[in-house]
Chain A
Amino acid sequence: MNKVPNNRAWWLVLPMLLLVAFSAIVPLMTVVNYSVQDVFDANTRFFTGTEWFVQMLNDPALQAALGRQFAFSLTILVIQVPLGVGIALLMPKRGWRASLVLVLVTLPLLIPWNVVGSIWQIFTRGDIGLMGFSLRQLGYPYNITSNPMDAWVTIVLMDVWHWTSLIALLCYSGLQAIPEAYYQAARIDRASRWAVFRYIQLPKLTNVLVIGVLLRFMHSFMIYAEPFVLTGGGPGSATTFLSQSLAIMATAQFDVGPSAAFSLIYFLIILLVCWVFYTAIMNLQKDRQGGSRHD
């Protein structure tokens, strides 16, 4: 095949560029626009440069929310990833049981965020909620509106209930893709159950797990509706995460400039974490491929 360099081919990129411009770049630029101005009304505005950014980064309340946000995301990842893998390993491989379990596991994923919050809000009530009432009957003074620890544990529990299925389903599909011959060979080689997991299943799950972790990180880092409905961010600000802080600032206080600056910082953090994680994993794999010649 002869390749002819022709720079006019760049015009072919134009439709894509327009599409991306209208769907992403233009809306994003309006946010950038707000983030460097102080807007009083439609006609009065001042250029502020990086002032809002500096202010946001130094805001103790936001710093605390950011800390809570990281703590939350890490906690649910640490619980959901091993739990999801475990569930996937236990799920039946075929037959009507497989279909049944698949439906049951998928169920939580189909419930809208607000509804999940409401379900748990009722579930945890001390007077009529199954969990809240039972715990109190057992002698534990369970109260998510006054005890920050209770609120935290409940939100983590809620997220685990809602989203572990995603990891489980991804891993399940990954496990299904492993040819039977691998398990047969492992039996012939007298491999233990642990060795089968460590050397056959886990390596084959790496790719789906990377996707699972990325999805769950982004998702949980942006969590909003569920804690908002369940605890309203309380008690105090114990469960106020970044999205909620942002929503209050932008819609309740109409601080457009600071909210815009904050949005951009928020966006960049997610982008940065995902990029670092993805690059790290890919490098790990590259080492496995390239760095294996020691001779």
Chain B
Amino acid sequence: MAEIRLEQLAHSYLQQPSGPADFAIERMTHTWEQGGAYALLGPSGCGKSTLLNIISGLLVPSQGEVLFDGVQVNELPPEERNIAQVFQFPVVYDTMTVFDNLAFPLRNVGTSEERVRERVEEVADILDLTAQLPRKARNLTADEKQKVSMGRGLVRDDVAAILFDEPLTVIDPQLKWKLRRKLKEIHQRFAVTMIYVTHDQLEASTFADKIAVMYQGSIVQFGTPRELFEAPAHTFVGYFIGSPGMNFFTPQLDADGALVGGQPLPLSPGFMNALRDAMSRSDNVTLGIRPEFIEVVSADDGGMLATVSHLQDLGTYRIVTASLGSLTCKVRVDDALDPATSCIHLYFPERWLGLYVDERRVEVAS
């Protein structure tokens, strides 16, 4: 059990990194608190697995420190860090039985057989592996094998943290859901720190209390699933979280206010000032709003006129692709909208509008 702190950490796979592009992990400082259930979310190649391997000790970081409860462990190999890690593809010791597989991490450190039996049976019970205990691991199905892999991580009750590297990739969708519940249960029962790497936002938000979104080697936002949804700290989080992703657009400014596709965008004076200020400082200013928060209003309510170019029915709701001049945005609408409608009026509530300068969110004081 430990708090894991990454201090000024950076990593490059090259011996002599020459620029920021050579770094798989850009300089970051981050703390994983003891007992938390975390997800590390990001697209393939963003550095999630690298970061995980640095925490477990399979990789030594090029720069910075890894601290377990304040103690620097940079040079310690995984076997001395007391950490468990479950990999993307199942790793089982073929010639051993399931029991011996689960007992392996305990026997390696000379745990008494009595204690081994107790722990293995407990973990097998949690993972529904009791019936398979006497079987040879090589004869198991892929998802049983992955359960064994996970079991070997869970069987040690003294670990600093359990790291999961996309552990459910090979598992059937139905079982996936069940295993995720199991992990959550185990987390609540043993209060062990868990870090779960995934590229699936649903998986991340069902498992974790807090999600770290990674993009190009940095953690761009660390927050609850709700925070990621309602206030993405980076345009990438806006795109990546939610389906479809956030709408981003650059408004034009004139003497009276902001325009979107030639139509006035209603904004409060405070927001307007912030926007003007931002646009005077940077060329890269965008506003973002989620499709879920755009309102379809009647013509009298002063909405902006948009033409419907596409309507996608997703069963319980619909996604409309609408054009506002040169801006194309997605809007989530309910069943009440007539499918034959070609023009709608849209209203962008200010409280759901995000101001992004150089891809990062700027909070607007209201």
Residues of A within 8 A of B (CB): 179, 181-182, 184-185, 187-192, 195, 199-200, 203-204, 288-289, 292-295
Q: Which residues of B contact A190 (CB under 8 A)?
A: 79, 105, 108-109
Query: Is the pair A187, B136 in contact by a Cβ cutoff of 8 Å?
Result: no
Interface residues of B in 87-116 (CB under 8 A from A): 87-89, 91, 93-97, 104-105, 108-109
Query: Is the pair B134, A295 in contact by a Cβ cutoff of 8 Å?
Result: yes
Of the candidates A181, A192, A294, which one forms a contact with B134 in the assembled complex, judged by CB atoms under 8 Å apart? A294
Query: Is the pair B134, A188 in contact by a Cβ cutoff of 8 Å?
Result: no
| Also in contact, A292 and B78, with CB within 8 A (given A190-B109, A191-B108) | no
Within 8 Å of chain A (Cβ to Cβ): is B320?
A: no
- Chain A CB within 10 Å, residue with most, of B84, B94, B96, B134: B94
Q: Which residues of B contact A200 (CB under 8 A)?
A: 93
| Also in contact, A199 and B95, with CB within 8 A (given A190-B109, A288-B138, A293-B134) | yes
The docked-state distance in angstroms from the alpha carbon of A173 to that of B199 is: 34
Q: Which residues of B contact A199 (CB under 8 A)?
A: 93, 95-96, 104
Within 8 Å of chain A (Cβ to Cβ): is B349?
A: no
Query: Is the pair A289, B138 in contact by a Cβ cutoff of 8 Å?
Result: yes
Query: Is the pair A288, B83 in contact by a Cβ cutoff of 8 Å?
Result: no
| A200 smallest CB distance to B (angstroms) | 7
- B 35-60 to A, binary, CB cutoff 8 A, 1 in contact else 0: 00000000000000000000011100
| Also in contact, A181 and B93, with CB within 8 A (given A187-B78, A192-B108, A288-B136) | no
The docked-state distance in angstroms from the alpha carbon of A139 to that of B129 is: 67
Query: Is the pair B87, A181 in contact by a Cβ cutoff of 8 Å?
Result: yes
Query: Is the pair A188, B78 in contact by a Cβ cutoff of 8 Å?
Result: yes
The docked-state distance in angstroms from the alpha carbon of A292 to that of B96 is: 10
The docked-state distance in angstroms from the alpha carbon of A294 to that of B108 is: 25
Residues of B within 8 A of A (CB): 56-58, 77-79, 83-85, 87-89, 91, 93-97, 104-105, 108-109, 131, 134-136, 138-139, 149, 152-153
Q: How many A-B residue pairs have CB under 8 A?
A: 70
- Chain B CB within 10 Å, residue with most, of A187, A204, A293, A294: A187
Query: Is the pair A189, B152 in contact by a Cβ cutoff of 8 Å?
Result: yes
Q: Which residues of B contact A187 (CB under 8 A)?
A: 57-58, 77-79
The docked-state distance in angstroms from the alpha carbon of A289 to that of B96 is: 11
The docked-state distance in angstroms from the alpha carbon of A199 to that of B93 is: 6
Query: Is the pair B83, A203 in contact by a Cβ cutoff of 8 Å?
Result: no
Q: Which residues of B contact A289 (CB under 8 A)?
A: 136, 138-139
The docked-state distance in angstroms from the alpha carbon of A190 to that of B109 is: 7
Residue of B nearest to A206 (CB): B95
Q: Which residues of A contact B136 (CB under 8 A)?
A: 288-289, 292
Query: Is the pair A184, B85 in contact by a Cβ cutoff of 8 Å?
Result: yes
| Also in contact, A188 and B95, with CB within 8 A (given A289-B136, A293-B135) | no
| Also in contact, A295 and B131, with CB within 8 A (given A181-B87, A181-B91, A289-B139) | yes
Query: Is the pair B95, A203 in contact by a Cβ cutoff of 8 Å?
Result: yes
The docked-state distance in angstroms from the alpha carbon of A282 to that of B134 is: 22
Q: Which residues of A contact B89 (CB under 8 A)?
A: 179, 181
Query: Is the pair B108, A195 in contact by a Cβ cutoff of 8 Å?
Result: yes
Of the candidates B88, B93, B134, which one forms a contact with A292 in the assembled complex, judged by CB atoms under 8 Å apart? B134
Q: Which residues of B contact A181 (CB under 8 A)?
A: 87-89, 91
